[in-house]
Amino acid sequence: MIIRLFQLLEQAEARRGMGDQNNWVIRVNDELNRVSENSLEKETEEWKKRSIYKVPIAVADLNKKAYRPQTVSFGPYHHGEGSLKPMEEHKRRALLHFLKRSKKPLQLYVNSLAEVVQQLKDSYDCLDKKWQENTDEFLQLMILDGCFMLEILRTATLSMADYAHNDPIFSDHGKLYILPYIKRDMLMLENQLPMLVLSRLLAVEDKKAMEDEEFVNTLIVKFCSLHVSTKKRMGKCLHVLDVYRKSLLSGEPPKKKDHWKPSSSSGDEIIRSASELNEAGIRFKKSKSVSLKDISFHGGVLRLPRIVVDDVTEPLFLNLIAFERYHVGTGNEVTSYIFFMDSLIDTVRDVSHLNSRGIIQNAIGSDKAATKLFNNLSKDVTIDPNCSLNEVHKEVTHYCSKRLNQWRANLIHTYFTNPWAILSVIAAIFLFALTIIQTIYSILGYYHAE
């Protein structure tokens, strides 16, 4: 009887498993039919909607603090985290100042963003189900964070007279002590707001402000203290990090030299360090602009843009690299630049040499720290073989492969790397000169004796 009962239970379990399997097959077939009905263009458009991404754990673990905001959250990914909650009070206060100054009812702003709410949600990759289902709460988040961001941008770049002189955020004191930390958080990939939020809020507040499409871009560039001409149009941008990236790449790359012929090199060779290139006769000079695209090599001179290395350099570039990595079609110029710089920097000596040429402005204390920073930035980085710096790489490799430059590099590396070697060479030359002089005097003495 007991054995029969077990047999019945096994049969029932098998039928249940078969039923689950059949249901799974039906669901997959339904999804397949829907995929078949959708064209490739629709699928392409769906992927284009995303512009804000969560950094995978495997990447974030390499530097956990680089991708997580420390002071303020923007958007849904880090909203409500304990360490960021103190700033929520200041967000609500900023909203009240914004509404009071605009003299427009809050409902107008809600209605404007409600028209594009699905577009805003689609901007976030892997958006939590909570935000997908609760549209009212999502709109509240966008308006609160959007108004706070606009107030921050205006406080740093324009005159804002409606805040108290001792306001902890929107005062000269706040500009000095708080805004640098907010700026750091505003440039993190996971902590972005769609640019559409800012443009919609400004359009309701003052339509004239939005007649200039570059108004918000200009505010962001000034806020980030970038030495970039604000007259150059950036066009449509996705968010603050995208504006910052485009500003770093402003300007046209140097024109290609028509007379230069590439060598048979495949371009797979690793670029030598700055010290080794210097030994091969290559000189380093500062580029005319600070654009990361302004890198060129001509006549034995490698020109590189000036870069300031400070405490925020590492997290900033890590987020820029992550943006290029996960947003298809955005380009790989920043990643290529970092990989190129890491190739040039192997030791403290390389940083010191680039610093002496005005290319690296070291503000983190020691050359050793700067060396470690560049080496860490290039970890787990994938380089596009068609990157913009590939031609410069080939030119440098071709120059170093010339026999005269190889001989020069070997001579310097062998005899001029330390003071004792230099003294030995000088002594040898001096003795050789004395020997020649002595020989000449001996010959002259022989002729005079005759």
Splitting the chain (450 residues) into consecutive groups of 10 residues, what average pLDDT does each group show?
A: 57 60 79 68 81 93 92 97 96 96 95 97 95 96 98 85 90 92 97 96 82 83 73 85 94 55 50 85 90 91 94 95 94 92 92 94 90 88 77 84 51 51 58 72 64
Q: For residue 89, what are the contacts with CB-CB under 8 A and spacing of at least 6?
A: none
Q: Which residues does 277 contact at the CB level (< 8 Å), separation at least 6?
A: 271, 284, 302, 344, 396, 400
Q: Return the closest-CA partner of residue 77 out of 143, 121, 136.
A: 121
421-428: long-range pairs with CB below 8 Å, 24+ = none
407 by Cβ neighbours in 10 Å (0-12 / 13-18 / 19+) ranks as exposed
Alpha carbon distance 218, 203 (integer Å): 16
- Minimal CA–CA distance to 217: which of 203, 236, 192? 236
pLDDT for 31 = 75
- Is the distance from CB of 286 to CB of 303 less than 8 angstroms? yes
Alpha carbon separation from 414 to 52, 133, 258, 283, 408 (Å, rounded) = 52, 69, 36, 20, 10
Q: How far apart are CA 445 and CA 423, in angstroms?
A: 32
pLDDT of residue 250: 84
pLDDT for residue 201: 96
Gap between the Cα atoms of 367 and 363, Å rounded: 10
Give the pLDDT confidence score for residue 235 in this predicted structure: 84
* Distant-in-sequence, close-in-space partners of 265: CB < 8 Å, separation ≥ 6: 394, 397, 398, 401
Task: Tell me the three state secondary structure of residue 367.
Answer: helix
Closest C-alpha to 357, from 365, 369, 372, 345 = 345
Are the C-beta atoms of residues 251 and 269 closer than 8 Å to each other? Answer: no
Helix (H, G, I), strand (E, B) or coil at 418: coil
Q: CA torsion 188→191→196→201, rounded to 10°? A: -120
**Collapsing DSSP states into helix, strand and coil, what is residue 48?**
helix
Distance CA 187, CA 225 (A): 13
User: CB of 241 within 8 A of CB of 188?
Assistant: yes
> pTM of this prediction?
0.83
Instruction: Name the 3-class secondary structure at 83.
Output: helix
Spatial neighbors of 248 by CB under 8 A, at least 6 apart, are 226, 290, 291, 292, 320, 334
Packed helices 195-205 and 86-102: angle between N→C axes, nearest 10 degrees: 40
Confidence at residue 380, expressed as pLDDT on a 0 to 100 scale:
76
| Tokens coding 248 | 């770093």
CB under 8 Å to 207, separation ≥6 — which residues? none
Euclidean distance between CA atoms 358 and 286, whole angstroms = 6
